[in-house]
Structure 1
Amino acid sequence: MTTLKYTTPILFFFFLSSRGIGQHKITIATIDAGKIPKEIKYSGNIKSGITWNDRLGENFAVTSETGEFESKAADNGGRDAALYAYHFIRSNNTIEQNWKLYDYVKDCPLDIEASFLTNTLHVTDLDNDGIGEIWVMYKLACTGDVSPSEMKIIRYEGKHKAAMRGESRVKISETEYDGGNYTFDKAFNDAPGYFREYAKKMWTKNISL
């Protein structure tokens, strides 16, 4: 069994006025790239990693990015960039992958980006069921000017995925802005409203980054 050395634990404890109660406490510890268990396989370069315990067991979530690289299919100098997120669970001393997220920009001849927003990988338990909800937020772009980037918030609970998709907000003149809109997918719209409220706050906090 791999022994991990964690940084100071981070406690996510969030009160939602719309519910009138607090969420279940989940204590999260960050993992340095060199301390990630060897059973955890990933592509790209590690952006962040966390671990916590809940009803599913001992959990690990990591995000990684490739950075930009030459597109094999392009003949015009296009480049690709990709990002990944993973969730693993340790059970009976065996670590198994629960889900994998993959997104990308391909064959871009302009400025390209596929990156997670800093400090947006985290875990909540807003429905108080003892199973953590994993959140990530990232942006994708292929632009040659000051334009909004594609932005997404993804929430997983177990293997169930929900997505919020839209654009970042950019200033195009002294008084004008572009972008900032978003939509929820069916999974988000079918879920309790406090999940959407939480996602909106997360979106607003990071919309101009």
Structure 2
Amino acid sequence: MNRNRIGYGIVLAGLALGVTLTGCEKPPQDDAEPAEAETVEAEASAESKVEDNAGDEEKKPEAEAPDQEEPVQPTTKVEQTKFADTLPEGVSVEGKVVDGIAWTDAKGANMVIFGRKLTGKTGTKLQARHWRQSEGGDWEQVRQFVELIDECEFDTTLEPLTGDWSVTDLDEDSVGEATFAWRSACRSDVSPATHKVLVIEDGEKYVLRGDSKMRLSQTEWIGGDYKADPAFATAPEGFLAHAEKVWKATVKE
């Protein structure tokens, strides 16, 4: 009886010891899986951020458009201004001032002055000078044009023709064009005069040359024909059409 109780006690003690030892063992490996999952998620999140950042870097060039040359916008309008007979200091023309054109554009203040004077005994000279005011305020001559009648013992015609059409910016480059006509003749009868229309821009000139148009009767006219200088072939668009318009406006005597 006592032996059985002792043996049973040993068994119970052994079981208790086994339970105690079992409780001291490390947790099952399955318990570590959540930590590994968190690590994987963190790495995946980091990789995702890298990819997102890389995507942002790839999008930047799209946001920053490549440098392109923008067209230069005109900064100054071409405006015709009133011509004053009193010339600024430094501006001159041969003979007496008989007409003038004035305007402002991107290059500054401009004027074309017409002067006429007698030459020799019976000659007459008509001169047009294009002047431009520099940034420093000084006036500089761009170009001059001359029409000359050497000798004339009869009636001399030598006059410039200007109008509201004299200043334009046909090619929209903010540099004005000056257009004027003049006619010249030495006549003792009823006959057409030499007639010209000049379009000038920044020292360049384009000319229509022909005869004035004169009425002989109620139904009969003479003259009025012209030829365009070859320079019009390379002139900006609209220059020839404008010159022809001025021709029609000035050709009749």
The verdict on a shared fold, with TM-score over 0.5 as the criterion, is yes
Distance 2:101 2:251 in 1: 24
Cα gap change, 1:102/1:120 in structure 2, threshold over 3 Å: closer, same or farther? farther
Aligned to 1:19: none
Distance 1:198 1:84 in 2: 23
Partner of 1:190: 234
1:43 alignment partner AA = E
Identity across the alignment (%): 31
Q: Tell me the equivalent position of 1:117.
A: 161
Unaligned runs of 5+ in 1: 1-23, 73-78
1:102 aligned onto 2:151: no
Query: Which has more strand, going by share of residues?
Result: 1
Superposed displacement of residue 29, structure 1: 1.5
Q: Which residue of 2 aligns with 1:32?
A: 84
Q: Which has the higher helix share?
A: 2
Is residue 2:237 matched to residue 1:177? no
Cα deviations by residue, 1:35-75 (Å, 9 ceiling, x for unpaired) = x2021011111122333221222222211222xx4734xxx
CA distance in 1, matches of 2:219, 2:128: 37
Structure 2 CA distance for aligned equivalents of residues 163 and 120 of structure 1: 19
Preserved CA contact (<8 Å) 2:119 2:125:
no
* Cα deviations by residue, 1:111-155 (Å, 9 ceiling, x for unpaired): 111111253782110000111111111000011111001000111
Task: Name the aligned partner's letter for residue 138 of structure 2.
Answer: T
Task: Tell me the amino acid that sits aligned with residue 42 of structure 1.
Answer: V
How far apart are the structure 2 equivalents of 1:193 and 1:89? 24
**Structure 2 unaligned residues grouped into runs of 5+:** 1-75
- Rate the CA distance shift 1:25–1:70 in 2: closer, same or farther, 3 A: closer
Inter-CA distance 116–41: structure 2 relative to 1 (3 Å threshold):
same
Structure 1 runs of 4+ with >6 Å offset: none
The structure 1 residue matched to 2:120, chosen from 67, 71, 75, is 71
- Structure possessing the higher radius of gyration over alpha carbons: 2
Q: Which residue of 1 aligns with 2:128?
A: 85
Cα contact 1:135–1:156 (8 A) shared by 2: yes
Q: 1:47 is matched with which residue: 98, 103, 110?
A: 98
